[in-house]
Structure 1
Amino acid sequence: MRTKYSDLYFGLSDAVNEAKQDPDHFFRSYVNINNVVDEVTSGRRTFVFGPKGTGKSALGLWIASDVDSVCSQVRDAASLPLADIPNLQTGQPAGVERTVTAWKFILLCNYLTLLRRDNACSMTNAREVDRVTRLLREYGFMGDASGKALLKVATTTVAIPIPRAGSVYKKESKSALNIFSLIPYLEEWVSSARSPNRHVLFIDGLDSIYLNDPRYDESLAALVQAAYRMNQNLGAAGATGSVVLLLRNDVFSRVSLRLPDSQKMRDDLGVDLDWRILTGSAGRNAPLFKLVNDKASAAAEESVTVLDYFPAKIKVGNGNREIPTVQYLLNLTRHTPRDLLRLFEEIRKVEASNVLGQGSSQLSAAVIREGVVQYSTKYFVNAIKNEFAGYEGGPEIAQDAVTALQYLGSQKFDRIGFRQRLREVRGTQVSEQEGDRLLKLLFFAGAIGNLVGNDSYMRFYHRRDDSEIYLRGGLILHGTLCHAWNVPFAT
């Protein structure tokens, strides 16, 4: 007999937590969509784009722990004081180039740490590399304390003493190196390193949505530029690795205005983790469902096809209309692994509770409906709010925006109607500019979309590329929020 649906495993919401708590299932069920692993480890792709929940962190973790002949590490930039990095004293005048230098220094420090973890890696001037590495570690630039170190040295200049003996620094006339003058040596050391292994440094934690802080934009744009230049140097030298940034599409689009080479970066070096099923041709064989099946199969230790537990069609509305189950389930998500896995998990919890009875071979309509309600109210609404992390104004603004959507009482709406409800929620006037800004944030979060045509029930599009929301046209609320708030579906 096959495993009961109530006993299936769909993982945790956060890949980091799952990799720590249940590494066996996490690594066995990873889906290498579009061969992204080889593209990244080879150095052909150094920017990985995708909204939250598409597996950017999972990619880094899986490569770091489960790919032979690859030494890699995932560094979380969320702990770094991004807005303060432009103040890092590199020995240069304040400005864009100093910020780029600061980021290049941070990347080189972390990349050098990665190289020194590889026992098979050989480097020229190894003794001097070890001395400088030790000094940088004492300053705090290597390891988990780097955030505090950056704040500490924002008002002072780092000085690396030059040894009196030796020929490494024979061109230098001073007794110490600052960050700017040290970087060429760091670049030379990492570029000349040789090893039978590849080295990949992942920078994660850059998923914060609009922060409305120009210093954040300046800092993040400089990070992208620094990584781009560093990878060019590593590639030209035939080095053993690269730096990979894990970025949201919309965050990159925002800072790309500050990057002269942004289009080349995206076209030549970027890869999108795109799980969308834009047509019905792939259906249940699409990568998104393969991931779900692989995760469940790994835990059950048998081949599992999750959709076999569901009826072929689901009744919607007043019960007079049926739609294919694949279409029904996907329309409850934003076409991301996290959303779909959470949906299956909430349905599993309802089935496991026995409150609505257990089906012998297929899930009952009552179990599916209750699972959808639990997913909509417990997961999806909060996932939308979490997309506002770091937004100026804090969680109160996010709550106001979501409450205004809820008060609309209709799936179809326009910007004027939203602004009116937002004003009612706040009890104060709301400018057109502020209302539009919040609508853009809700669009990026996947809560709303542009209304396309009249058949609105199946026409929600979650933002994935550079297309902007059209605020002067009709807007539509995500169907899952209609389930959560009991909003009538548009007809």
Structure 2
Amino acid sequence: MDQTPFTKLYFGKSDPNHELRSNPEDFIKSYVDVNGAIDRVVSGEVNLILGPKGTGKSALGLYIEKTSMKGRYFARMKNASHLPLAEIPQLKTGEPQGAVRTRNAWRFILLSNYLDVALSDPETKISQIRDIRRVIKGLRDFGFMAADSGHSLLKAHGAKFTFPTSQVGSLFKEEGGRELGIYTLLPYLERWAKSLTSPNRHILLLDGLDSIFLNDAAYDESLSGLAQAAYEINIELMEARATGSVVLLIRNDIFSRISLVLPDAHKMRDFAFDLDWRVLSGAAGVSSPLIQLINRKSGQERGDGPIDVLSYFPEKISPVGGRGGVRQRNPSRLQYLLNLTRHTPRDILQLMEHIRLASMHLDPTPVKPLPIETIREGVLQYSTKYFVDALHGEFAGYEGGREEAEAALQALKWMEDSRFTRGDYRRSLQKHFPGLETKADEFLRLLFFAGALGNLFDNGGERYLVFYHRRNDVDLNVQGTLVLHNALTHAWSKKFGLS
């Protein structure tokens, strides 16, 4: 029986970047690699990490980057959220506009950044390495790798980028002293990436694609070019037995959409790793990867072994509907807690953290199991302070603008019940935001993929719910019965959608 008070358990922060900055040692010690993704990325077996928002893609990349000095590899994670993705196809490479130019623009960006990683390794060897370092520094100074590279790429899109060969000795002597553009410089980057040697591996991870709402066809050409460019670079590096790989961290729904126009989509899947934390129903759920995560993370920061976190909760927990006090049947503690999340690491860890904080305020001498009042206070704080904000984050960059995104959520909030139909939602939009009711179906799908609502199905009297994060191979049936997520039911004081 675990003796550690619940208030002393460790569940981390909602953003791995914040957790890493505030206490790097805690982040490293408490990181949980349940499915062996780290070794597969480091070895080059995997170069495409897929998963919905909150499944730990960024945390995995940060862990690999921050522990790279302890292993025989050099890794760096770059954030793509500042890149003007829709403008990449317009980047002047010296070629006609089209898919090939877009792919080569991405090849140039990825190889520039990959070489920046490889040349940070003091054991890297290649002919004329000092001059090559000057080239990479010149690209970095221009902004192809820095935090403000979005502004630089916009500048390059408006005027053809050139590199003065006079700065790098005899490296480009066959070019006759002429300035090089992206198209003419690209073969050199390819050659260097394939020919440098080192006893260490070099890994470039590209993150931040979740930070932009990518439900707009305007991004598809750019993202398709990115995925194709990364795949081709990795194949070329493997065939040359080069020192490293390029790894993309991307939402699986985005990859599924752009794969329709990718000629090598089925081949890319051979090198993909799905961060799938979904929990199967029944008793087996207690040993699922998601529960292993909270058990192992909660004790690692203190140097303890795995802790049975569920044992701190009563075996049955009765949910209470907000308005009206409607009670459900008492579900198991596992079902109760999971139904408040989207079956992602970020959600479950934040739920536990808010219950821990509530316990600190309400239980000066904590007991086991936790009092129901403490659990409910933590759930309320989690629902209002974390879950609603997380949904707002899902709409960041939405092409309809912040006001439309806010309207989509407010219309959902101001509905009478948590079980409703498409017509109910449309009427809420018409009442509160006249004119936007024509976008009801679009908004409902966005809310579905954000995890705010799901479908209720009745199969011969047996009812079950389908949420995107629990089954990410499904789409919303807008004609069917819709149910608000349990966390929003708490946050917005509504009656439960199920009795």
Helix, strand or coil at the partner of 1:33: coil
| TM-score normalised according to structure 1 size | 0.93
Alignment correspondent of 2:329: 321
Residue 442 of structure 1: aligned partner? 447
In the other structure, the counterpart of 1:79 is 82
The answer to whether the aligner puts 1:353 opposite 2:347 as a matched pair is no
- Is 2:24 aligned against 1:23? yes
Matched, 1:70 2:73: yes
**For residues 380-410 of structure 1, what are the alpha-carbon distances to aligned partners after superposition, in whole Å with 9 as ceiling and x for unaligned?**
1121121000002322222211222223322
- Partner residue, 1:231: 234
How many angstroms apart in 1 are the aligned matches of 2:319 and 2:261? 47
Decide which of 219, 222, 226 is 1:219's aligned counterpart.
222
After TM superposition, give the deviation of residue 174 of structure 1 in Å.
7.0
Secondary structure class of the residue paired with 1:39? helix
Give me the whole-angstrom Cα distance separating, in 2, the residues matched to 1:383 and 1:39: 30
One of 197, 201, 210 as aligned partner of 2:200: 197
- Per the alignment, in what secondary structure is the counterpart of residue 77 of structure 2? strand
TM-score (norm 2): 0.91
Instruction: Quote the Cα distance in structure 1 between the aligned partners of 2:168 and 2:426.
Output: 70
What is the one-letter code of the residue matched to 1:308?
A: S
Show the 5 A alignment for 1:401-440.
401-428=408-435, 430-431=437-438, 434-440=439-445
Change beyond 3 A, Cα 1:235–1:135? same
1:233-382 map, 5 Å: 233-265=236-268, 267-303=269-305, 304-317=307-320, 321-354=329-362, 358-382=365-389
* Cα offsets for 1:196-249 (capped at 9, x unmatched): 111110100001464565432222221111111111111111111111111111
Given that 1:29 and 1:291 are in contact with CA atoms closer than 8 Å, whether structure 2 keeps it comes out as no
For 2:39, the equivalent position in structure 1 comes to: 38
CA contact (8 A) 2:214 2:254 kept: no
Hey, what's the Cα distance between the residues in 2 that align with 1:404 and 1:283? 34
Deviation, structure 1 residue 420? 1.2
Question: Which residue identity does 1:11 align to in structure 2?
Answer: G
Partner of 1:158: 161
Deviations 1:412-458 (A, max 9, x none): 22222211111112033621xx2111111101100111222267986
Identity between Structure 1 and Structure 2 (%): 47
Inter-partner Cα distance in structure 2 for 1:452 and 1:320: 18
Deviation at 1:348, TM superposition (A): 1.2
Aligned length: 487
The alpha carbon displacement at 1:286 in A equals 2.1
Contact in 2 for aligned 1:103/1:223 (Cα 8 Å): yes
How far, CA to CA, are the matches of 1:398 and 1:125 in structure 2?
Answer: 53
Give distance in 1, aligned partners of 2:149 and 2:212.
23
Q: Is the 8 A contact 2:65 2:74 kept in 1?
A: yes
CA contact (8 A) 1:25 1:295 kept: no
User: 8 Å contact 2:51–2:57 — kept in the other structure?
Assistant: yes
- Describe the SS at the equivalent of 1:203: strand
Is the Cα–Cα contact under 8 Å of residues 208 and 388 in structure 1 kept in the other structure?
A: no
Cα distance between partner residues in 1 of 2:34 and 2:199: 26
Following TM superposition, by how much is the alpha carbon of 1:139 offset from its aligned partner in structure 2, in angstroms?
A: 2.4
Read off the aligned partner of 1:288 and give its amino acid letter: L
Q: Contact 1:141–1:149 (CA<8 Å) still a contact in 2?
A: yes
Matched residue type, 1:192: S
Unmatched 5+ stretches in structure 2: 321-325
What secondary structure does 2:183 align onto? helix
Distance verdict in 2 for CA 1:427–1:21, change over 3 Å: same
State the partner residue of 2:403. 396
Partner of 1:130: 133
Q: Pick from 94, 111, 116: which aligns with 2:97?
A: 94
**Alpha-carbon deviation of 1:165?**
11
Structure 1 stretch displaced more, 195-204 or 82-91: 82-91
Q: What secondary structure is seen at the aligned counterpart in 2 of 1:300?
A: coil
Could you tell me whether the CA contact under 8 Å between 1:50 and 1:249 is conserved in 2?
yes
Say which is worse superposed, 331-340 or 418-427, in terms of deviation. 418-427
Structure 1: gaps spanning 5 or more residues: none
Match of 1:481 among 488, 494, 497: 488
Match of 2:323 in 1: none
Equivalent position SS for 1:243: strand
| 8 Å contact kept, 2:135–2:168 | no
Compared with structure 1, are the counterparts of its residues 449 and 209 closer, same or farther at alpha carbon in structure 2 (3 Å cutoff)?
farther
Contact 2:195 2:242 in 1 (8 A): yes
1:104 and 2:125 are equivalent in the alignment: no
C-alpha displacement of 1:20: 1.3
> In terms of mean alpha carbon deviation, does 334-343 or 213-222 score higher?
213-222
C-alpha RMSD of the superposition: 2.4
Shift of 1:345: 1.1
The one-letter amino acid of 2:195's match is S
- CA apart distance, 1:135: 2.7
What is the CA-CA distance between 1:166 and the residue it aligns to? Answer: 8.3
Secondary structure in 2 matching 1:222: helix
TM superposition shift of 1:287: 1.9
